[in-house]
Chain A
Amino acid sequence: MTKAAEAWEGPTAAELKAAGAEAIPGGVRVKGWVIRSHNGPILNSASLQLFEDKLQTTHLPEMVFGESFLSLQHAQTGIRLYFNALDALKAWKHEALPPVEVPAAAKWKFRSKPSDQVILDYDYTFTTPYNGSDALVQNPDSIQTSLDEPRNLCWEDSEDRIDLVALSAKEPILFYDEVILYEDELADNGISFLTVRVRVMPTGWFLLLRFWLRVDGVLMRLRDTRVYCSFGSDESKPVVLRECCWREATFASLSAKGYPSDSAAYGDPNLIAHKLPVVMQKIQKLKLPN
């Protein structure tokens, strides 16, 4: 997550004009896309109740930014990609990984009497396979003829790769934001968060959805989803690539490789990602709706 940094005044009017872009409240309009984000507060008691009802659980992250979102919508095709805490937690609930025991657990087991205790076994790390929500929305100009749920988009496996060279160019940034969807301190046993960052440049937009988990002394998980759209020449046919990369390592395995084994060395996932072995990787291309 970004630390307090120098203030940014946003793009200049000249930069927006040169890119054919327009600043809108909470976002930007560029090359047929409307890209918006919002950072809200954590859930209050009433909205927490709503989430608990929808998810059928009373165990949610300590900080759920339920109103926060990132949305990218392409007017001509009706493509809409969006990122929010509720859908991410639905995916967590569905994956339902077994809990991870903290180092102190061995000692606690020794003391506890299972007969008169309830052992909770939900995944308190809130590990989620979520890679974003998508929908095909009605063209706002057409007459809506059905009340069906919006259709989901179709992603196909692809051999293409996200063009990191193009993304490394220091183009002007027309819009940038970081949206935290949820976060939990694991009762001071580490950190778990899901955050999405976006940057919009004159030649394309790029986002990184990141789930980061560190259970102190036990394991780390990094689940990154990168989505890139290069604007290209034909505004009506956007090319959108999505790359998912999951990494995971135990502190024991890192220590065996000679890496540090104290949690303080693993504060910033950017700096240590390469030390964690890849456990899953896939690249998909968005199939344009007919």
Chain B
Amino acid sequence: MGTSDLDRQIEQLKRCEPLTEAEVKALCLKAMEILVEESNVQRVDAPVTVTAPLPPPFPFHLSFICGDIHGQFYDMKELFKVGGDCPKTNYLFLGDFVDRGFYSVETFLLLLALKVRYPDRITLIRGNHESRQITQVYGFYDECLRKYGSIRVIDRKQEVPHDGAMCDLLWSDPEDAVDGWGLSPRGAGFLFGGNVVSSFNHTNNIDYICRAHQLVMEGFKWMFNNKIVTVWSAPNYCYRCGNVAAILELDENLNKQFRVFEAAPHESRGVPAKRPAPDYFL
């Protein structure tokens, strides 16, 4: 797959036009080669310390950390308008690319194509929605079947197991009501409080944790005295919540700034603005 092919595919995906099944397969294989080489703890450098800059004309200045997208393709385009195009801007996406929105396929393929084209400029990590079980219930699986007739286009390195570190990473949330560890009332899923976060940050010598996965009206939410922040990047979630979205910008000195953005205007997306059609419900 040549660079020009890839660039054409990226342009096509930016218009929300899906690729052919053969193209998807080739893209997935290529992406696997890259992703398999990445380590579990993926190092993402701030711009100033990047060791292998692209040749001109790619001066880049900023990095952004992005939260959940959930198949809201046109809103992700707003995100790129706010943050700037990849590769001029570095991006770190915190997972939950798919499910619930109308365009999970196009959303994920565009991110994947960007990853293959600019592997050092975009980092994609996995959310709990990037699994077979969850996508079967919440939309991505059906969307793949609808658009390609086969779920086999997506290959996974591993299913999310029911226990162990990988499971905990994808299913745990911060919780105000506990200081240490808590167990969710669902009986599964850990909750962690301020003490746990403080000690994690201290042990790992980090300033704060940036995570996604939970909806916040303002697009981001700090907890535990700025020791952890939740970033949410799907504006007007499910097309009805009225929330704004945010991405976190880090400059070369790791100064941070939240860029808040709103949903794409109705006319620029595939779904018509509508009043609910009346229904003779009983």
Residues of A participating in the B interface, judged by any CB pair closer than 8 Å? 2, 4-10, 39-45, 48, 58-59, 62-63, 99-102, 104-109, 111-112, 116-124, 164, 167-168, 170, 173, 176-178, 180, 186-189, 197, 199, 208, 216, 226, 262-264, 270
- Most B C-beta atoms less than 10 A away, residue of A4, A43, A170: A4
List residues of chain A with CB within 8 A of the CB of B183.
Answer: 108, 112, 117-120
A-B interface pairs (CB < 8 A), number = 152
Q: Is A108 within 8 A of B278, CB to CB?
A: no
Q: Is B181 within 8 A of A176, CB to CB?
A: no
B241-282 residues with Cβ-Cβ distance < 8 A to A are 241-243, 271-282
CA distance A7 to B243 in the complex (A): 24
CB-based nearest B residue for A10: B275
CB-based nearest A residue for B136: A264
CA distance A15 to B146 in the complex (A): 40
List residues of chain A with CB within 8 A of the CB of B137.
Answer: 216, 263-264
Task: Say whether chain B's binding surface is mostly helix, strand, loop, or mixed.
Answer: loop
> Can you list 23 A-B contacts (CB < 8 A)?
A2-B279, A7-B275, A8-B275, A8-B277, A41-B241, A42-B243, A48-B217, A62-B215, A104-B162, A108-B163, A108-B183, A112-B190, A117-B181, A117-B182, A120-B191, A167-B280, A176-B276, A176-B279, A187-B184, A187-B186, A189-B186, A199-B279, A216-B137
Partner of B276, one of A5, A124, A170, A188: A5
List residues of chain A with CB within 8 A of the CB of B274.
Answer: 4-8
Q: Is A124 within 8 A of B280, CB to CB?
A: no
Q: Is A43 within 8 A of B188, CB to CB?
A: no
Q: Is A118 within 8 A of B178, CB to CB?
A: yes
List 8 tightest A-B contacts by C-beta distance, closest first: A41-B242, A105-B187, A101-B187, A176-B278, A104-B188, A99-B185, A5-B277, A173-B278
Q: Is A118 within 8 A of B217, CB to CB?
A: no
Stretch at the interface among B3-11, B44-52, B169-177: B169-177
CA distance A191 to B102 in the complex (A): 18
Beyond A2-B279, A42-B243, A104-B187, 13 extra complex contacts between A and B, CB < 8 Å: A2-B276, A7-B272, A10-B275, A102-B187, A105-B187, A107-B188, A108-B187, A111-B163, A112-B183, A112-B190, A173-B278, A180-B240, A197-B281
